[in-house]
Amino acid sequence: MDLILASSSPYRQRLLRRLGQPFDAIAPDVNEKALPNEPARDLAARLAADKARAVSRQFPSALVIGSDQVAALGDSLLGKPGNHPAACEQLQRCSGREVVFYTGLTVACEEKGLLNRHVEPFTVHFRTLSERAIENYLRREQPYDCAGSFKCEGLGITLFERLNGDDPTSLEGLPLISAGADKACEVLASGCLTPDTGSLSYIATNPTSGSVFDSPLTGTDLKN
């Protein structure tokens, strides 16, 4: 079974390579604009699902991973700054405050009727940042394509006072070891197909507890 990452992000591609599983990366055609009054967590979940669905419709027999990250500073959403002045403004706003990053993950297979979702929150507590510290950091790392204007895997870690969350890889854009994504990793790293039956192993969400668990997928399984 083919594995596809529904993303053109080099950061997510780098993370997924950790699993040692070959995959293709395809950019989904999705409108990423937030709905009126849409909470950050809901937006991350919806966009991750929309991305996975869009690519899964093109490749119905493939296992597709969709992911999206939304950063919230209070009631405000932080997008990718795109340039130096906007990044300066973002970091000035974040200085001494906490920002919550919601990373949505969806695993989909159109042919098998699979659509399972998870949202991983991660909170960043920023140090009080001087204008000089912000300027020096941005000039060195230029994280203009990153929401929050930092790269946590690089020098961006020096901007933080502390971090709170279960899965640090979610802060980079693709949760690999969280409660939901960890099970996906097990399935993907094992090759997706169960050797004795040839059936697809997948991630199903318990409708009562919201937990995730492995299960063999057959034609009679419920669609989530």
Give the active site residues.
68
Distance of alpha carbon 173 from alpha carbon 15, whole angstroms = 8
Instruction: Give CA separation, 90 vs 95, 129, 152, 183, in Å.
Output: 9, 11, 15, 35
Q: Which residues contact 150 (CB under 8 A, 6 or more apart)?
A: 91, 137, 141, 143, 156, 159
Distance of alpha carbon 141 from alpha carbon 157, whole angstroms = 12
Neighbours of 178 (CB within 10 A): 24
Tokens 């937006």 sit at which residue? 43
Distance of alpha carbon 56 from alpha carbon 71, whole angstroms = 26
Distance of alpha carbon 116 from alpha carbon 107, whole angstroms = 5
Distance of alpha carbon 125 from alpha carbon 81, whole angstroms = 19
The per-type count for the chain, helices as H runs and strands as E runs, is 6, 9
**DSSP of 122-159:** EEEEEPP--HHHHHHHHHHH--TTSTTS--TTTGGGGG
